[in-house]
């Protein structure tokens, strides 16, 4: 396997995750039925844009950082495997958006899955970044956790509203 800058690979994947997340949230903000759901999705889309720009800035200043590894390509393969299974991969976002009728609950649950995958990806790969950038990753993970909490609150609220209507 050719030598790659692991930091560069990580950041390119992170930018793609954030871009796909933003695309999903923008689409759901337009399609959501409840105003509260549309508002949350709009806010999350804006935050994903901020994260994308943060990662672009890190990419611009990153050299050819290569963390120690047991064998050539070890970290690259690990990052690739995590990213390939992520819900915010392009193919998975497209398949969710292609679904004809996506309820608010389904959309919020998809967002929850996306945020969990983002947290896993960033948490698992942060140690492969230079020390100063690890702090930035920690801040983004903290924000992703806030996104997850917001979405969990909304889905629970939606489920409560649905139960109340059925009673």
For 7-41, write each residue's pLDDT tens digit.
677 788 888 888 888 988 998 899 889 999 999 99
CA angle, 67 then 71 then 75, to 5°: 45
Closest CA to 36 of 163, 161, 166: 161
At residue 125's C-alpha, the angle toward residues 91 and 138, to 5°, is 105
Task: Note the pLDDT tens digit of each residue in 75-105.
Answer: 667 666 766 666 556 666 666 665 666 789 9
Range with the poorest average pLDDT among 17-21, 138-142, 157-161, 163-167: 163-167
Most confident of 6-15, 21-30, 113-122, 145-154: 145-154
Going by pLDDT thresholds of 50, 70 and 90, the confidence category of residue 44 is: very high
When the pLDDT of each residue in the chain is averaged and rounded to a whole number, the result is 79
pLDDT of 1 over the 60 cut: no
Q: What does the block give as tokens for 151?
A: 């979405």
Q: Could you give the C-alpha distances from 153 to 54, 95, 100, 115, in angstroms and in order? A: 27, 25, 25, 14
Cα separation values, 15 from 9, 24, 75, 90, 113, Å: 10, 14, 18, 12, 18
Percent of residues, the chain, with pLDDT higher than 70: 69
To the question of pTM greater than 0.85 for the whole model, the response is no
Domains of the chain: 6-166 (1.20.1260.10)
């Amino acid at each position: 396997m050719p030598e790659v800058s692991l930091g560069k690979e990580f950041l390119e994947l992170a930018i793609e995750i954030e871009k796909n997340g933003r695309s999903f949230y923008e689409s759901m903000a337009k399609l959501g039925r409840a105003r509260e759901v549309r508002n949350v999705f709009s806010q999350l889309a804006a935050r994903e844009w901020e994260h994308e720009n943060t990662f672009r800035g890190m990419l611009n200043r990153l050299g050819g950082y290569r963390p120690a590894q047991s064998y050539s390509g070890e970290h690259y393969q690990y990052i690739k495997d995590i990213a390939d299974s992520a819900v915010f991969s392009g193919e998975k976002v497209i398949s969710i958006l292609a679904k004809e009728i996506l309820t608010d609950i389904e959309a919020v649950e998809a967002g929850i899955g996306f945020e969990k995958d983002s947290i896993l990806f960033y948490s698992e790969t942060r140690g492969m970044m230079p020390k100063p950038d690890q702090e930035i990753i920690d801040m983004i993970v903290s924000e992703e956790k806030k996104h997850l909490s917001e979405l969990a609150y909304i889905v629970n609220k939606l489920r409560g509203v649905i139960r109340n209507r059925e009673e």
